[in-house]
Structure formats: C-alpha cells, structure tokens
Amino acid sequence: MTHNEKFQLNDGSSLPKIGLGTVNIQGAIGVNSMLTAVEENGYRLIDTSTNYHNEGAVGEVIRRSTIPREQLIISSKLPGAAHDYNQAISMIQESLYRIGIDYFDKYLIHWPLPMQGKYVEAWRALIDAQKFGLIKTIGVSNFLAEHLERIIEETGVTPATNQIERHPYFNNKELVETNKKYGIVTEAWSPFGREINDVLENETIKEIGEKYGKSPAQVIMRWNLQNDVLIIPKSSSAERQKENLEVYDFELTDEDLETIDSLDKGEPGRVEDQHPNEYEEYV
Ligand SMILES: NC(=O)c1ccc[n+]([C@@H]2O[C@H](COP(=O)([O-])OP(=O)(O)OC[C@H]3O[C@@H](n4cnc5c(N)ncnc54)[C@H](OP(=O)(O)O)[C@@H]3O)[C@@H](O)[C@H]2O)c1
C-alpha cells in the first residue's frame, strides 16, 4: 500500500493525496474510529471543521495516538458566523484550544457566503493567522471563480487549496480547471455522494471497477487522483477506511476517466443543492 504520495502546494508545503473526512464522526465512538484510521490504516490528514462538532474528538485522537503531532496534518474550517476579522482570529484560537494544539497544518474558510460580503475580510484574517504562526497552510472551501479572483486581487495571496463538492454526478470540472489555473490544489468533498445519491451503486462505475477487481469507491478515488484532486472520504469503518487507501495498484484508462466524467448531471447533481452563492451557513 503506497498512500504516502503528496501534492506540492503553492506555498511550498505538501499534503498527502488522501485524508480522512469526519462529518458525523463524533464523541467516543468517533475518537475510536479516527484512532483506527490513524494507527491501523495510516491516515495522516484529518479534515475537521468547527461545524462538525468534533474538534474536541480530534484533539483526543492526537493525544491518544502514538504518531507524533508533527506527522499529523490537522485541517479545520472557519464558520460563517466568524468572517469578521477579529472574530476569525479568535475562532482560530478557540479551535486550537479545543483541539489542544498550537497550530493548524491547514485551515480553510468553510463557505464564501457572498450575501454576507465578508469573505475578503475573513481571508485577511487567515493570512495574518498564518503570519502569527497559528496556521501553516491557508486555503478556502466552496469558493467559485469570482470569489477566488476577488481574494487574490484584493490581498495578493492565492489560497493553497480549494475544497469543493465533487463526485461523479457533480464533477465540478470547470472549477477544478479554475483552481489549476491559479495553482490551487482541489480537494473533493463528498467524493462518494455521502450516500445521499447512489453513485456507489452506479452500474457504469461498477463495471469499470470489475475490470480491475476494484470497488466503485476505489474507482472514484482513482478518478480523483488521476485528475490531481485530493480526496477526503469519510468512513467510520476500519475496513472501508483501508479500502479507500488501496488505490495505488491500478490505473484507469483515459477512456475510463472520460466515461466517469460523462456521468455528470450538472447543477441538479449536487448532493444537497448547496450552491456556494446561495448556501447560508452562519453558525
Ligand atoms: N467543505 C465542505 O463544505 C464540506 C462539505 C461536505 C463534506 N466535507 C468533507 O468531506 C468529507 C467527505 O464527505 P462526506 O462525509 O459528505 O461523504 P462521502 O465521503 O462522500 O461519503 C461518506 C459515506 O460513504 C460511506 N463510505 C465510505 N467509504 C466507503 C466505501 N469504501 N464503500 C462504501 N461506502 C463507503 C460512509 O459510510 P461508513 O462511514 O459507514 O463507511 C459514509 O456513509 C466530510 O466528511 C468532510 O470532512 C466538506
């Protein structure tokens, strides 16, 4: 198993190509499942958020793990209620206290919330938090081309990553290309459609997997890797966490990649209709 391949980022650092998503991984059960991911399966990147109500659990994992802190990559996200500059700085500090660490390896603005109109201010806070040593790599999430253009133009600082919805029914190809144009690494959220859609049951994906003796989840992982997209699948099961990493012993053909691309449904394909210009998240 070789899942220690890395993406080089535009800020000079690097990230593993696969991380662990943690939506709904909470409490003592969540701690055990994240510990399994880290200790038994070798995950190093943990994707959390203030809104996932599990930053404390992530901290517990760090404390209980035998893996040194420097080898773990802890990533969290700024909630919508804290886009104001001072609130953003306090929120980053509060999240660090909750987790019990003194820096984030990566930290993202969770949603742009353009109707609130403060994402440039929030971006300035992340830029300064990085200067203060609170964050190593700063990035964004759910930012469309116009939001990226604005923060880059107004601050001169390009995010290192943009975490966006991406799965075969909503491949977000144009935005992946926009990210590439700016030298931003795309991270795919809900790569398996969060079991809200039936992408893991899709016959076309199953057939592609059968050619290689691989599961639909593994085909989707590979489709992302071969498109230079970082993936953060969530699994609370030790077996499925492992399965999602066993994707370095086969390669999809260009035809397979195009076939998967052709499953895109455009806007109606989004899992929960969360368009970044409309989605409101002010908690
Ligand atoms: N930035 C954002 O706005 C945003 C939004 C959504 C998500 N995210 C991040 O992205 C991560 C992943 O997205 P997600 O949690 O929404 O959904 P997901 O990773 O697409 O799907 C997770 C679901 O798939 C199942 N699963 C995992 N591996 C599987 C496999 N190999 N075979 C069959 N089923 C499998 C999991 O069940 P089990 O747990 O039982 O295995 C879970 O029910 C999140 O956890 C979060 O960290 C970010």
CATH number of the structural domain spanning residue 182: 3.20.20.100
The span from the CA of 46 to the CA of 18, in Å, is: 9
> Does any ligand 1 atom lie closer than 6 A to the CB of residue 36?
no
What mean pLDDT is predicted for residues 180-206?
95
Question: 173-181 vs 145-155: helix axis angle to the nearest 10?
Answer: 20
The span from the CA of 179 to the CA of 274, in Å, is: 19
Summarised one tens digit per residue, pLDDT across range 136-189 is: 999 999 999 999 999 999 999 999 999 999 999 999 999 999 999 999 999 999
Number of domains in the chain: 1
60 belongs to a structural domain: yes
165 belongs to a structural domain: yes
- Band (pLDDT 50/70/90 cuts) for residue 3 is low
What mean pLDDT is predicted for residues 10-26?
98
Are 6 and 15 in contact by the 8 Å Cβ rule? The answer is yes
Q: Given a cut of 90, is residue 283 above it in pLDDT? A: no
207 belongs to a structural domain: no
Domain that holds residue 42: 10-197+229-240
The span from the CA of 118 to the CA of 112, in Å, is: 8
> Does any ligand 1 atom lie closer than 6 A to the CB of residue 55?
no
Summarised one tens digit per residue, pLDDT across range 30-55 is: 999 999 999 999 999 999 999 999 99
Amino acid 280: pLDDT? 86
Summarised one tens digit per residue, pLDDT across range 95-151 is: 999 999 999 999 999 999 999 999 999 999 999 999 999 999 999 999 999 999 999
30 belongs to a structural domain: yes
Q: Which atom of ligand 1 is nearest to the CA of 188?
A: 10
Distance, CA 191 to ligand 1 centroid (Å)?
7
- Band (pLDDT 50/70/90 cuts) for residue 281 is confident
Q: Which atom of ligand 1 is nearest to the CA of 23?
A: 45
Report percent pLDDT > 70 for the chain: 99
Distance, CA 123 to ligand 1 centroid (Å)?
27
68 belongs to a structural domain: yes
2 belongs to a structural domain: no
52 classed as catalytic? yes
> Does any ligand 1 atom lie closer than 6 A to the CB of residue 191?
yes
What mean pLDDT is predicted for residues 228-234?
98
Q: Which residue spans within 34-89 are E strands per DSSP?
A: 45-47, 73-78
Distance, CA 132 to ligand 1 centroid (Å)?
32
> Does any ligand 1 atom lie closer than 6 A to the CB of residue 187?
no
What mean pLDDT is predicted for residues 81-103?
98
Kindly tell me the burial class for residue 114, based on how many C-beta atoms sit within 10 Å of its own C-beta (0-12, 13-18, 19 or more): middle
Q: CA torsion sign, 156 to 157 to 163 to 168?
A: positive
176 belongs to a structural domain: yes
Please report where in the chains the tokens 């053909």 appear, as a residue: 253
156 belongs to a structural domain: yes
Q: Which atom of ligand 1 is nearest to the CA of 236?
A: 39
Among 148, 150, 129, residue whose Cα is nearest residue 138: 129
Q: Given a cut of 60, is residue 2 above it in pLDDT? A: no
